[in-house]
Structure 1
Amino acid sequence: MELGIFSVGDCAPDVLTGHRPTEQERLKALTRIAVHAEEAGFDVFAIGEHHNPPFVVSAESTLLAYIAACTSAITLSTSTTLITTNDPVKIAEDFATLQLLADGRVDIMLGRGNTAEVYPWFGQDIRNGIDLALENYGLLRRLWDEENVNWSGSFRAPLTNFTAVPRPLAAPPFVWHGSIRSPQIAEQAARHGDGFFVNNLFMPVSHFAESVKLYRDQWAAHGRGTPETAIVGAGASLYVRPNSQQAYREYSPYYYSHPVLSSSGRLEEASQHTGAIVGSPAQAIERVLSFREHFGTYQRQLFGLDMAGLPETTVHEMIELAGSEILPVLRTELGVSPAGRMAGRMTVRQAVGSPIHGSSA
């Protein structure tokens, strides 16, 4: 399993001090967090795309390119890139460029996002969300897999003898499909032999387990292998302190002041039934290991550490604590090798023993 950190890049005020970083400060902080994640032994750093306040990461490939220049081993990913409102040509070229600059340590997570307003901003209709996701990804695959593409569809201009440049490496960036409730996306991921990622936040873990089961079943139905070999990833939020009393005391004001986080109910209950992990290193380890009861053996676990205006100093303290007391135990329990940090994309592929992109069955 790969262990990583993800961020949504929100630029929220600290509920205790009222301090809100500038957009420049927040972007630089995200870079420092990614660098520290690599130093602490995490395998992956992922950032999500948003186009509305309070988020600051609208150009995720640009930020990841900057982080690539500041790091040397950690796999860089998105969490999420909007497959519905981005032009597949631009995605293909941006991430091939990033892959070349980062010497291959890049993958991408595709999703529809959680902001309805983004569709009209980019000239699309949210009612076409699923169809956009399916059609745009079909084109993206062809742009990476074929040098001369002739294509026509429903949502963009046709292409005639088009070559996306630059060309990706021999294996394009590994693709994860992120979803919280759409069976079509789970089926698409399985059909193409791609990874399937559940954010595992805000709802009971059992809800996401249903999507994972559907994906695993579809993986087998499309001849990719047994359900157990499917490539699954999961998210979680993490607030870890030396003891649980400190963790709950410190995190509570941030949790209850945040409308999305607090939608999961009382913090004590959310930490038992959702992917919200709060407590000591030992409690965090126990909670992560419990996810296997719902998801089976899975290949990637990402933790959100910096949401809701938490001070950057606190985030770095948690990274340090996780690196020293959580990651070593999880690697022992789950058989994770830190060598995977040199090529997270290849680690996933080797774990399932199959090409990143199979045939378009």
Structure 2
Amino acid sequence: MKFLAITLIVHNDDRSPTARFREVVENAVLAEELGFDGFGVGERHERPFISSSPPVVLSHIAARTSRIRLFTAVTTLSLLDPVRAYEDYATLDHLSEGRLELIIGKGNGAAQARLFHVTPEDQWERNQEAYELFRRLWREDKVTWEGRFRPSLTDAETWPRPLQRPIRVWHGSATSKESVDLAARYGDPLFSANVTNPVEPYAELIDHYRERWAHYGHDPAEALVGAGTAGYYAARTSQEAVETYRPIFEARLEFQRRPGLPIVFPTLEDAIERSSILVGSPQQIIDKVLRYHKRLGHEVMHLHADADGLTPRQHRDALELFQAEIAPVLRAEIPSRPFPGGAA
């Protein structure tokens, strides 16, 4: 199994945006130091996130690191001009020396949809159209194309031409069968959000992905799945882990209640039992990931990159414990394919 650390760059405290961005970059450096396989930055265009420009953030991270793969999580193609998105990410591909992978999706959030004049009725069609043009731009030196949502192209050239030909693109999926079908149609990997609800709705979407993958004529053994987690904190004993994490979980509940969001897991104990949150001793976390793997069949998993209310020392200690005692067991138990370009 491979492990990513991912941030959406939530900014809901008194620190300046400058300090928050600095923390993100330092967390990426730490992730590489500790042995994580990848670091991801989300894209959102509304409060409380300041992750509106992943290519800029990832470019800075690329300059501070040398090995770790760089991910977007997700690139919201329904909001973007695919030509401009291609130019940004092809440039980043070169700056990172071919360490870039994309996770794309239509995105969510009413405020950002209004900002870009995208509607619930057309956001899926925008995502599909943008992706189909985006993948052609990555593969073809000249593109002639016509669609609904941007001006047509005639023998269009885009620069720079990419380092990775082609780049690997994952499709992020939370609730949408359309996203799953698009991934399967093009033989692309799927990354399940797996953070808000119990495992079954996500497992059903992954089952659908595998069915559609075979329907489109791909080898079932080649399907590739990643999955998220709703939070992480490990300590030597489950009692210590729960005691430390409880105020963080309760603060998250309060953050959800203020705007009237639904509460799916009302207590930490319920979340540990029924959600993808990983809180407990190393062995408890290993057992839970293996249990989820039996249902999802995923080879890649993400943890939250942010301290999320932990002190810097608690955050580092938990990540060190993950890499020292949890990751080695999961890597041995769950084989995973190499990254593109021969990276292990």
Q: TM > 0.5 between the two?
A: yes
Query: Which stretch of structure 1 is more off in the superposition, 181-190 or 20-29?
Result: 20-29
Match for residue 104 of structure 1?
98
Look up the SS of the partner of 2:169 in the other structure. Answer: strand
Q: Secondary structure of the equivalent of 1:291?
A: helix
Query: Does residue 82 of the first structure (1) align with residue 76 of the second (2)?
Result: yes
When residues 187 and 246 of structure 1 are mapped into structure 2, their CA distance, relative to the original with a 3 A threshold, is same
**Per-residue deviation, 1:137:** 0.5
SS at structure 2 position matched to 1:126: coil
Partner residue, 2:148 = 154
- The alignment's C-alpha RMSD in Å is 1.9
Matched, 1:271 2:272: yes
Contact 1:255/1:308, CA 8 A, preserved across alignment: no
Runs of 4+ in 1 over 6 A off after TM superposition: none
8 Å contact 2:300–2:336 — kept in the other structure? no
Displacement of 1:346 after TM fit? 4.0
Q: Which one-letter code corresponds to 2:316 in the other structure?
A: H
Q: Does 1:235 align with 2:228?
A: yes
* 2:318 is the alignment partner of 1:345: no
TM-score by length of 1: 0.88
Aligned-pair identity (%): 36
Shift of residue 172, structure 1, vs aligned partner: 2.5
- Contact 1:177 / 1:194 at 8 angstroms: preserved in 2? yes
Deviations 1:126-151 (A, max 9, x none): 32111111111011011111111111
Correspondence for 1:252: 246
Tell me which of 215, 220, 241 is aligned to 2:214: 220
SS at match of 1:11: coil
Residue 4 of structure 1 aligns with which residue? 4
Alignment partner for residue 128 of structure 1, among 122, 132, 141? Answer: 122
- Residue of structure 2 equivalent to 1:333: 333
Work out whether residues 98 and 164 of structure 2, in 8 Å CA contact, stay in contact via their aligned partners in 1. no
Question: For residues 136 and 177 of structure 1, do their structure 2 counterparts lie closer, same or farther at Cα, with a shift above 3 Å needed?
Answer: same
Amino acid at match of 2:269: E
**Cα distance, 1:10–1:24 mapped onto 2, change above 3 Å:** same
Report if aligned partners of 2:2, 2:37 keep a CA contact under 8 Å in 1: yes
Contact kept? 1:107, 1:345, Cα under 8 Å = no
Give, as a single letter, the amino acid of the residue that structure 2 aligns with 1:235. G
RCO comparison, higher one (Cα < 8 Å, 6+)? 1
Q: Which amino acid aligns with 1:129?
A: Q
SS at structure 2 position matched to 1:127: coil
User: How far is the alpha carbon of 1:266 from its aligned partner?
Assistant: 1.7
Query: Which letter does structure 2 place at the counterpart of 1:330?
Result: L
CA–CA distance in 1 between the matches of 2:155 and 2:113? 29
Q: CA deviation at 1:102?
A: 0.8
The answer to whether the 8 Å contact 2:2/2:331 transfers is no
1:312 CA displacement: 3.7
Give 5+ residue unaligned stretches, structure 2: 257-261
Relative distance call for 1:187 and 1:307 in structure 2 (3 A) is farther
Name the count of aligned residue pairs.
336
Give 1:290's aligned residue.
291
- SS of residue in 2 equivalent to 1:306: coil
Gaps of 5+ in 1: 14-19, 351-361
- Decide which of 13, 23, 29 is 2:17's aligned counterpart: 23
Q: Take 2:170 and 2:275, find their aligned partners in 1: how far apart are those partners? A: 21
Residues 1:104 and 1:34: Cα distance change in structure 2 (over 3 Å): same
Q: Which moved further from structure 2: 303-312 or 196-205?
A: 303-312
Please give the alpha-carbon distance, in whole angstroms, between the structure 1 residues aligned to 2:283 and 2:237.
Answer: 9
How far the C-alpha of 1:35 sits from its partner, in A, is 1.0
